Amino acid sequence: MIGVLKLVGVTRRYGNVVALDGLDLTVPDDTYLSLLGASGSGKTTLLRLIAGYEEPNEGQVLLNGDRLDGVPPHRRDIGFVFQNFALFPHLSVAENVAFGLRYRETGRIESEAEIRERTQSALDLVGLADFGHRGVGEISGGQRQRVALARTLVTEPRVVLLDEPLGALDANLRARMCDELRAIRERLKVSFLHVTGSETEALTLGDTVAVLADGKIAQVDGARTLFTQPSNPAAAHHLNAWNILPGVVEGGGLRTAVGLLPINEPVADRTPAQLGVRFDRIDVCDPAEVPEAHDHFEAVYLTGEFNGPTTLSFFRTPDGSLIQVLDHLSDPRLPALKEGRTYALHFPPEAAVLFKGAA
């Protein structure tokens, strides 16, 4: 697949702190790529390097094969939707959207009729056809987000960067904006690179999802593949859906602090590894009711979190590890749990993913 945007060996340091460490990433043409990372992982730094607000210490940023590093931001043909919207408060909605057309250094539009036409088309695209005359202080947060998007799209960039654009919106509005962002991108056929700390947002929006950890890309995959088959513990951790248990292979299982756990592949004894088990693949029962010869470990139930369609239960193992178990209320499988009571937790070997290597 030919990538419209590529980062090759990109490193960015701030003194002794390495924010990005030899990072490689390809954003294909006509795609929605979500970049998932924890707070402080370097997500915004990555966007600023692509946009030209910062430069890498090492490596290259390329767009359709042309070097971007060293090129001023306004000459990169990259659109940037900022987390705080960055709208001009003294201008109307339409004036904010038209700003880039009227004042950019290259490709400036001189015809007021063309500016009005393109501005209105951009407002139509984001569902704000009748809001052009309003001040940005007279509209909601969700509408300001759309204005920021329209202001970026009106200049027809080749790539659009979105820096946690939904973070300031309430949950219902975030869900609606997810649908709208995908629909807008599909109509325009340009690439979106959307950074977020929300695994739900990343998996919902991205045709492809990249996980940023320790200054590198831990995994790039389709959303379903990433969620069900993370290739390493760093990717699994960022999905907030996997328990990770370290240990050493012994006799066809993994010897961990909670006991010998089943694995689903032949691995040589004494191999250090980590076992990933998804929250929704663990079953819970009374220790006296564990099926004969069924691998399990014991843990004390701490508390549960009711989230509407699901309940997330928290358990503490004797070694202090925290184990999370997800139950879907539409198809419940857990018994009634009592705080402070010890339960047996078990899962089939095929439900786990083995990551070779020490923690």
SS (H, E, C) 175-214: HHHHHHHHHHHHHHCCEEEEEECCHHHHHHHCCEEEEEEC
Residue 224 and residue 250 share a domain: no
Quote the pLDDT of residue 104: 80
The number of domains in the chain is: 2
Quote the pLDDT of residue 40: 86
3-class state of residue 111 by DSSP: coil
Return the closest-CA partner of residue 235 out of 244, 11, 32: 244
3-class state of residue 169 by DSSP: coil
Percent of the chain with pLDDT over 70: 98
Q: What's the pLDDT band for 284 if we cut at 50, 70, 90?
A: very high
Residue 262 and residue 207 share a domain: no
* pLDDT tens per residue, range 134-187: 999 999 888 888 898 999 999 889 999 999 888 767 777 778 888 888 988 998
| pTM attached to this predicted model | 0.89
Q: What's the pLDDT band for 324 if we cut at 50, 70, 90?
A: very high
Highest mean pLDDT, choosing among 76-80, 226-230, 284-288: 226-230
Distances (CA, A) of 140 to 14, 99, 137, 144, 150: 37, 20, 8, 6, 15
Residue 288 and residue 216 share a domain: no
The answer on pLDDT for 331 being more than 80 is yes
CB 224 within 8 A of CB 209: no
Q: What's the pLDDT band for 293 if we cut at 50, 70, 90?
A: low
Structure-block tokens of residue 184? 């807008």
User: Mean pLDDT score of the chain, rounded to an integer?
Assistant: 91
Residue 275 and residue 163 share a domain: no
Range of the domain at 9: 3-233
Q: What is the mean pLDDT of residues 335-339?
A: 95
Residue 153 and residue 286 share a domain: no
Quote the pLDDT of residue 246: 95
The answer on pLDDT for 294 being more than 80 is no
Q: What is the CATH number of the domain that holds 267?
A: 2.40.50.140
State CA 104 to chain mean position distance: 32
Quote the pLDDT of residue 212: 97
The residue out of 212, 233, 254 marking a domain boundary is 233
Residue 110 and residue 49 share a domain: yes
The answer on pLDDT for 300 being more than 90 is yes
The answer on pLDDT for 44 being more than 50 is yes
Q: What is the mean pLDDT of residues 225-236?
A: 96
Q: What is the CATH number of the domain that holds 98?
A: 3.40.50.300
Handedness of CA 214, 220, 226, 231 (dihedral sign): negative
The residue out of 233, 251, 278 marking a domain boundary is 233
Quote the pLDDT of residue 1: 45
Residue 245 and residue 226 share a domain: no
Quote the pLDDT of residue 173: 75
Residue 191 and residue 265 share a domain: no
Q: How far apart are CA 70 and CA 60, in angstroms?
A: 10
Residue 90 and residue 177 share a domain: yes
The answer on pLDDT for 2 being more than 60 is no
Residue 286 and residue 183 share a domain: no
What ranges make up the beta strands (E) of the chain?
3-14, 17-28, 32-37, 58-63, 66-67, 78-81, 159-163, 191-196, 208-213, 216-222, 242-250, 253-256, 259-262, 272-278, 283-285, 297-306, 310-316, 322-328, 342-346, 352-356
Residue 77 and residue 223 share a domain: yes
Residue 245 and residue 225 share a domain: no
The residue out of 215, 233, 251 marking a domain boundary is 233
Q: What is the mean pLDDT of residues 16-32?
A: 95
